[in-house]
Amino acid sequence: MVRIRYVQPDGTERAVDVEPGESLMEAAINNRVDGIVAECGGACMCATCHVYVDDEYMTAAGAADDGEQEMMEAVAAERRPNSRLSCQIKATPELDGAVVRIAPEQI
Amino acid sequence: MPGQAVVVGAGQAGVSLAAALRRRGFDGRIRLIGAEPALPYQRPPLSKEFMASTDAAPRSLRKPAFYEENDIDLLTGEAVTDIDLAARRLELGGSGSLSFTLLAIATGGQPRRLPGGDIEGVYCLRTIADAEAIRSRVAEGGPIVIVGGGFLGLELAGSLSANGHSVTILEGGARLMGRAVSAAVSAHFHAVHAGWGISVHCGDPFARFEHENGRLTAVVTGSGRRFPAAMAIVGIGIDPEVGLAQRAGLSCNDGIEVDACLSTGAEGVVAIGDCARFRQYRTDTPIRIESIQNATDQADCAAGTLLGEREPYRAVPWFWSHQRDQRLQMAGLPGQAGTDVIRGNPDDGRFSVFRYAEGRLVAVDSVNHPAEHMLSRKLIAAGVSPRGDAVRDPDTDLKSLLDA
Residue B36: its pLDDT value, please? 98
Segment B14-24, tens digit of pLDDT: 999 999 999 99
C-beta pairs of B190-193 under 8 Å, 24+ apart in sequence: B192/B323, B192/B326, B192/B349, B193/B154, B193/B157, B193/B158, B193/B169, B193/B323
Quote the minimal CA–CA distance from B79 to chain A in Å: 26
C-beta pairs of B309-315 under 8 Å, 24+ apart in sequence: B309/B24, B310/B261, B310/B263, B311/B261, B312/B260, B312/B261, B312/B281, B313/B260, B313/B261, B313/B262, B313/B278, B313/B281, B314/B281, B314/B282
The dihedral formed by the CA atoms of B365, B366, B370 and B373, expressed in degrees to the nearest 10: -30
Q: Can you say whether residue B369 is alpha, beta or left, with left for phi > 0 and alpha for psi between -120 and 50 degrees?
A: beta
Residue of A nearest to B325 (CA): A67
CA–CA separation, A23 and A77 (whole Å):
21
Q: Please indicate whether, in this complex, the C-beta atoms of B61 and A41 are within 8 angstroms of each other.
A: yes
Residue B96: its pLDDT value, please? 94
Q: Please indicate whether, in this complex, the C-beta atoms of B59 and A41 are within 8 angstroms of each other.
A: yes
Quote the minimal CA–CA distance from B398 to chain A in Å: 14
Helix/strand/coil percent split, chain A, to 5: 25, 25, 50
Residue B340: its pLDDT value, please? 98
Quote the minimal CA–CA distance from A74 to chain B in Å: 4
CA–CA separation, B79 and B33 (whole Å):
8
Residue B348: its pLDDT value, please? 97
Provide the whole-model pTM: 0.97
Report which DSSP code applies to A90: B
Residue B365: its pLDDT value, please? 98
B196 to chain A, any CB pair closer than 8 A? The answer is no
Q: Is the pLDDT of residue A8 over 80?
A: yes
Q: Which of A69, A96, A82, A87 is nearest to A27 (CA)?
A: A87
Q: Which residues of B touch A42 (CB under 8 A)?
A: 42, 59
For chain A, report the end-to-end CA distance as a whole number of angstroms: 31
CA–CA separation, B74 and A26 (whole Å):
19
Instruction: Give the pLDDT mean for A22-29.
Output: 98
Q: Which of A18, A30, A49, A85 to mutate to test the interface with B (most CBs of B within 10 A)?
A: A30
Residue B229: its pLDDT value, please? 98
Secondary structure class of B81 (helix, strand, coil): strand
Sign of CA dihedral B214, B217, B218, B224: negative
Q: Which residue in A26, A42, A74 is closest to B373 by CB distance?
A: A74
CA–CA separation, B330 and B28 (whole Å):
38
CA–CA separation, B156 and B198 (whole Å):
11
Q: Which residues of A touch B298 (CB under 8 A)?
A: none
Q: Which residues of B touch A26 (CB under 8 A)?
A: 63
Dump the DSSP string for B268-325: TEEE-GGGEEEE-TTT--EE---SHHHHHHHHHHHHHHHTT------PPPEEEEEETT
Q: Which residue in A32, A42, A74 is closest to B374 by CB distance?
A: A74
- Calculate helix-pair angle for B151-162, B183-195, nearest 10 degrees: 20
CA–CA separation, B183 and A29 (whole Å):
38
A56 and A42 Cβ atoms separated by less than 8 Å: no
Average pLDDT, chain A: 98
Q: Which residue in B63, B292, B320 is closest to A30 by CB distance?
A: B63
- Predicted ipTM? 0.97
B59 to chain A, any CB pair closer than 8 A? The answer is yes
Q: Which of A29, A39, A45 to mutate to test the interface with B (most CBs of B within 10 A)?
A: A45
Q: Which of B395, B401, B346, B347 is nearest to B379 (CA)?
A: B401
- Calculate helix-pair angle for B12-23, B292-306, nearest 10 degrees: 40
User: Over its length of 404 residues, how does chain B's per-residue pLDDT go in tens digits?
Assistant: 579 999 999 999 999 999 999 999 999 999 999 999 999 999 999 999 999 988 999 999 999 999 999 999 999 999 999 999 999 999 998 789 999 999 999 999 999 999 987 899 999 999 999 999 999 999 999 999 999 999 999 999 999 999 889 999 999 999 999 999 999 999 999 999 999 999 999 999 999 999 999 999 999 999 999 999 999 999 999 999 999 999 999 999 999 999 999 999 899 999 999 999 999 998 899 999 999 999 999 999 999 999 999 999 999 999 999 999 999 999 999 998 999 999 999 999 999 999 999 999 999 999 999 999 999 999 999 999 999 999 999 999 999 999 86
Q: Which residues of A touch B329 (CB under 8 A)?
A: 45
Q: Please indicate whether, in this complex, the C-beta atoms of B374 and A47 are within 8 angstroms of each other.
A: yes
Residue B1: its pLDDT value, please? 53
Residue B336: its pLDDT value, please? 87
Q: Which of B103, B127, B128, B78 is nearest to B17 (CA)?
A: B103
Helix/strand/coil percent split, chain B, to 5: 25, 30, 40
By CB neighbour count within 10 A (0-12 exposed, 13-18 middle, 19+ buried), where does A44 fall?
Answer: buried
Count interface pairs A-B at CB distance under 8 A. Answer: 51
CA–CA separation, B107 and B104 (whole Å):
9
Q: Strand B226-228 vs strand B231-234: parallel, antiparallel, or unpaired? A: unpaired
B25 to chain A, any CB pair closer than 8 A? The answer is no
CA–CA separation, B302 and B115 (whole Å):
37
Which secondary-structure segment (H or E) carries A54?
none
Quote the minimal CA–CA distance from A93 to chain B in Å: 21
